[in-house]
Each structure stands twice: as C-alpha cells, then as structure tokens.
C-alpha cells in the first residue's frame, strides 16, 4: 500500500514509521522545511523511545521518506492520513480545526485515482463530514472516501501501543474504504488486534469518550486519595482493592498531581464544547476538567504545608518536570502550576528532569536547572517528586538525607513507601496516605 501521512508531529511520525515497518510505502509530509530537512538527516524532532531506530531502519529499506511536497505523494497514495495538530482554540477550548481543513483542501487538489482520506488527528464529531464537503468543493471529480481512524498512542510507549493495540477503530460505512484500511492494518491481525468497523461519527466520538473516561478514572482516584488522607486510609491499597474487580480494572488508578499532556486536558475540554454545541451536557466531564485544574494548582499548597506553610527563603528541589516519564513533553505538565505556585509563595526552586529541561526552560525560565537528582537536592529544604522517572525510584536515600538541609520529601507519585523514609528520618508526605 502507498500511504501519504500529512503532519510529522507525534502521531504522524509514529504512525508513518510503524506503517512503513509493516511493509507499506510511506511518505511523511510536513510544511515545516526545517523539520523535514532534519528528518532527512535522520534527526528525530521528538523524544520517543525506539523511534529513531525505527525511522532509520525503514528509511534504509526505502519504505519511508520525508518531504515538504504534498501533491506528489498524495497523487500516488491509496490512503492519505491527516495527522496535523488540533490544538485548543485560544479562548473557548474548542479544537482548532484550521490545520485539518487546510490539509483537506490541499489534498483535494492533488488527488488522482480512488483515495481514502483518513483523519487520524483527534477531531470533533462531524469533522469527517466537513472534510468530505471541502474535498468535494475543491475537486468535484475526486473519487474519495473520508474515514476516521483515531489513534490511542501514549507518549513514551507509542510504538508498542501502535503495534500491539487493544483495538483499531475504523470509521466508515463505505466498503471500498473498509477494504483499504483493513489491508493497511492486516499485519496487526497476527497480534490478534480486533479491528472494529463503525460509522464515521461513532469512531470520532469513541476517541473523545475513551480519553474522557480515562481522565475521569484518574480524577476519581485523585479525589478518593484526598479523602483517604482525611480518613486515614491508604490510596495505594484502595486503588488495588477496587482495581482487582475486573469490572473496574487496575489501570489508570494511580493517584497523583493531576493529569497533563497533549491529549487529556485538550480533549476533555473539547468534548465539553462538543456536547454544549449539541445541547447535551456532560456534567461528569465538566467536573473532571475543573477538579483536575484545581488539583494541579493545589499541589504547591501541599508542598508548603509539608514545610509548615511558610516557603519564604526556602529552597525546593523538584525532581521531574515532564508531564510523565519517558517524554520531554511539558504540555499541561503539573510541574508548571506547582513551580509557579511555589515561587509565588517565596520559595527558590531548583529542578532536574532527565529529558525535558530544554522544553521546561521556555515555560519556566527563572528557576535553577541541575545536572542530576543529587545536585538538585543539595542544601534543599524539601525534595518534591513530580514525575516518576525510573531513575527516581531507587535514589540513594541516606545520601539525600546527608546533603539536604532538611529531610523533607513530598512524593506526588507515591514512588516510595512512607515507612521506609520515616525509618531513615525523613518527614514524608505522599498522595492519599494518612500522615502519621
Ligand atoms: C493519552 C492516552 O493514554 C492515549 O490513549 C491518547 O491517545 C493520548 O492521551 P498520554 O497523554 O501520552 O496518552 O499519556 P498517559 O499515559 O495516558 O497519561 C496522561 C496523564 O495522566 C499523565 O499526566 C499521567 O501522569 C496521568 N496519569 C495516568 C495519572 O495521573 N494516573 C494514572 O493512573 C495514569
């Protein structure tokens, strides 16, 4: 199969490289000439474990290439995937579809033979209809089927998620479209991945409903964690105790500082707007958005509390800045409102993250960046674990105790066992664990 992938952001690049690895012929297209030039030199613009090797192998095998020219690859392709960004529109939280529509118009002008145009970007319900209309308006003779094929990739585990998906959702009722997309994904049937065919609008909604449900699950356990602290229960055990019920499941029940990233915050807000536009109210998702925003802001107060509610002239060491481990992504990261709040309360902040410090400098230019966890902790009044990178899971605790000014640890990811730290003489605060 010949595939054109429009957009070399996270989704486009991972999907393009994985499709090529299945044996398809993939051309990734982007308007950003510097990005394409870098990709042609073998430089990967995002941090994703395994992606550089996957791209290199497939470029070498001549199954994957990169270009700024959209017309050529689209004319040749049997399927064109739209994987451009859909950021939150400034001001109202709606998904900004201008890039999707611009891509649709450009694709329309270049289509030659029968082509399946697939939206992979997360788009509001009904966007496929508009893409179809725009293509028909721009090129009335184009023989196209517009389908929806949402992605469910997690940053840091995107290649695995692509190759071993729980399911693949293909939204089109057109038989020719189903055939092309079925053929593209056939290599995955070896991994027994269920291929689910739906109407286009249903596929579009599945994506938002999945992300909103996961965000709800996290927010639910975060609120139960707050209650655990008040009533003297342990959230880790509560989560396990409910998660072992198969109807609930253990995943996405890890209490923390609130969800961040490029998807959950944006998609929950957009889903609320979609519902409003259709005169339906999603009160649960509305609450999830508000509770999560408030939670992220509350984390600075939690740290202040561990220091006797006075942060004036205190030095706080922050471990982990990215919104989760194995990524350099700072979008909507809980570390941002946390650090801003700490500084507002008069604290001096130092931070270390294994991957995201370059990104972080843009958001948080006025803090000190350190080379490792120990130089970060040296002389600090408290250590705050914000992102659960593996390297923060087995820190040399006696060494930390020696070098810190005060042995105070605030563990926003429950990486450590309270008893272990308390035995070593630390004052420990976790999430959803009663304070002795
Ligand atoms: C998510 C979805 O998982 C993926 O299917 C979708 O396509 C894109 O959005 P991603 O944003 O990469 O992926 O990360 P994910 O691992 O889902 O984590 C999102 C946020 O939730 C992170 O801030 C993470 O720390 C938080 N989280 C996750 C928790 O706080 N607790 C959990 O139990 C799980």
331 is in an annotated binding site: yes
User: Is the model's pLDDT at 435 over the cut of 80?
Assistant: no
Q: pTM of the full predicted structure?
A: 0.94
Percentage of the residues of the chain whose pLDDT score is greater than 70: 100
Structure confidence at residue 366 (pLDDT): 94
Please give the average per-residue pLDDT across 137-145, as a whole number.
97
Please give the distance, rounded to the nearest whole angstrom, from the Cα atom of residue 251 to the centre of ligand 1.
11
Give the pLDDT confidence score for residue 137 in this predicted structure.
Answer: 97
- Mean of the pLDDT values across residues 3-29? 97
2-198 matches 226-429 in fold: yes
Ligand 1 atom 21: residue of nearest CA: 259
CB 256 within 8 A of CB 412: yes
CATH class of 226-429: alpha beta
In the chain, what's the furthest Cα-to-Cα distance?
A: 75
Residue 225 near residue 196, CB atoms below 8 Å: no
Q: How far is the CA of 336 from the centre of ligand 1 (A)?
A: 17
Distance 249 CA to ligand 1 centre (A): 16
Ligand 1 atom closest to residue 150's alpha carbon, by position in its atom list: 7
pLDDT tens, residue by residue, 70-93: 999 999 999 999 999 988 887 788
Query: Active-site positions?
Result: 263
Q: Is 260 within any annotated ligand binding site?
A: yes
Helix (H) / strand (E) containing 244: none
Q: Which ligand 1 atom minimizes the distance to the CA of 210?
A: 5
Q: What pLDDT score does 95 carry?
A: 84
Annotated binding residue at 122?
yes
N- to C-terminal Cα distance for the chain? 62
Closest atom of ligand 1 to 151 CA is 7
pLDDT per residue as tens digits for the range 161-172 = 999 999 999 999
pLDDT surpassing 60 at residue 240: yes
pLDDT digits (tens, 9 = 90+) for 220-230: 999 999 999 99
63 sits in the region (left: phi over 0; alpha: psi -120 to 50; else beta) called alpha
Beta strands 427-429 and 315-319, pairing class = unpaired
- Residue boundaries of the structural domains of the chain: 2-198, 226-429
Here the tokens at position 300 are 């600075």
Nearest alpha-carbon partner for 80 in 59, 105, 61, 56: 105
Q: Going by C-beta distance under 8 Å and a sequence separation of 6 or more, which residues neighbour residue 109?
A: 71, 138, 139
Positive/negative CA dihedral, 205, 252, 96, 26:
negative
Is 264 marked within a binding site? Answer: no
**Whether residue 377 has pLDDT greater than 80:** yes
Q: What is the mean pLDDT of residues 140-151?
A: 97
pLDDT at 434: 75
pLDDT at 436 over 80: no
* Ligand 1 pocket list (CB less than 6 A): 151-155, 211, 214, 218, 252-254, 256, 259-261, 263-264, 323-324
The position carrying tokens 């810190």 is: 404
- 201 contacts: CB under 8 Å, gap ≥ 6: 125, 126, 128, 129, 148, 171
pLDDT greater than 90 at residue 209: yes
Bridging pattern class, strands 315-319 and 382-385: parallel
For residue 29, the model assigns a pLDDT of 98
Q: Residue 385's closest CA among 411, 420, 350?
A: 411
User: Mean pLDDT across the chain, nearest whole number?
Assistant: 96
CA distances from 287 to 282, 284, 369, 370 (A): 9, 5, 35, 37
CA of 259 to the centre of ligand 1 (A): 7
Beta bridge partners of 433: 234
Residue 46: closest CA among 13, 19, 16: 13
Q: What are the tens digits of pLDDT across the range 248-306?
A: 999 999 999 999 999 999 999 999 999 999 999 999 999 999 999 999 999 999 999 99
The verdict on domain 2-198 having CATH code 3.40.50.300 is no
pLDDT tens digits along 167-203: 999 999 999 999 999 999 999 987 788 999 999 999 9
């Amino acid at each position: 199969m010949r595939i054109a992938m429009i957009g070399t952001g996270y989704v486009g690049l991972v999907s393009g490289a994985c499709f090529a690895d299945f044996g398809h012929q993939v051309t990734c297209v982007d308007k950003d000439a510097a990005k394409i030039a870098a990709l042609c030199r073998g430089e990967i613009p995002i941090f994703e474990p395994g992606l550089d090797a996957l791209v290199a192998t497939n470029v070498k095998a001549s199954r994957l290439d990169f270009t700024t020219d959209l017309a050529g690859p689209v004319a040749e392709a049997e399927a064109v995937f739209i994987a451009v960004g859909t950021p939150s529109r400034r001001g109202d939280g709606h998904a900004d579809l201008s890039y999707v529509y611009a891509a649709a118009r450009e694709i329309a002008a270049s289509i030659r033979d029968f082509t399946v145009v697939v939206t992979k970007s997360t788009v509001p319900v009904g966007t496929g209809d508009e893409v179809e209309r725009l293509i028909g308006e721009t090129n009335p003779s184009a023989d196209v089927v517009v389908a929806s094929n949402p992605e469910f990739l997690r940053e840091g585990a995107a290649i695995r998620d692509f190759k071993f998906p729980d399911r693949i959702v293909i939204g089109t009722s057109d038989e020719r479209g189903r055939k092309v997309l079925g053929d593209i994904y056939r290599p995955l049937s070896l991994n027994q991945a269920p291929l689910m065919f739906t109407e286009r609008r249903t596929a579009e909604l599945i994506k938002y409903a999945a992300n909103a449900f996961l965000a709800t699950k996290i927010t639910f356990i975060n609120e139960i964690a707050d209650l655990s602290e008040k009533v003297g229960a342990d959230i880790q055990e509560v989560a396990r105790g409910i998660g072992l019920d198969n109807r609930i499941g253990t995943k996405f029940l890890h209490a923390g500082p609130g969800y961040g990233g490029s998807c959950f915050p944006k998609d929950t807000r957009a889903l609320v707007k979609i519902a409003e536009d259709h005169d339906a109210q999603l009160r649960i998702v509305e609450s999830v958005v508000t509770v999560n925003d408030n939670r992220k802001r509350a984390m600075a107060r939690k740290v202040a509390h561990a220091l006797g509610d006075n942060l004036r002239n205190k030095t706080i060491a922050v471990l982990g800045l990215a919104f989760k481990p194995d990524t350099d992504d700072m979008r909507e990261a809980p570390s941002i409102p946390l650090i801003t709040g700490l500084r507002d309360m008069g604290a001096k902040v130092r931070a270390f993250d294994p991957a995201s410090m370059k990104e972080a400098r843009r958001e948080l230019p006025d803090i000190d960046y350190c080379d490792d966890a120990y130089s970060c902790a040296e002389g600090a009044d408290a250590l705050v674990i914000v992102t659960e990178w593996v390297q923060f899971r087995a820190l040399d605790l006696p060494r930390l105790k020696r070098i810190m000014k005060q042995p105070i640890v605030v563990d926003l990811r429950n990486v450590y066992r309270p008893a272990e730290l308390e035995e070593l003489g630390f004052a420990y605060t976790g999430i959803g664990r009663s304070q002795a």
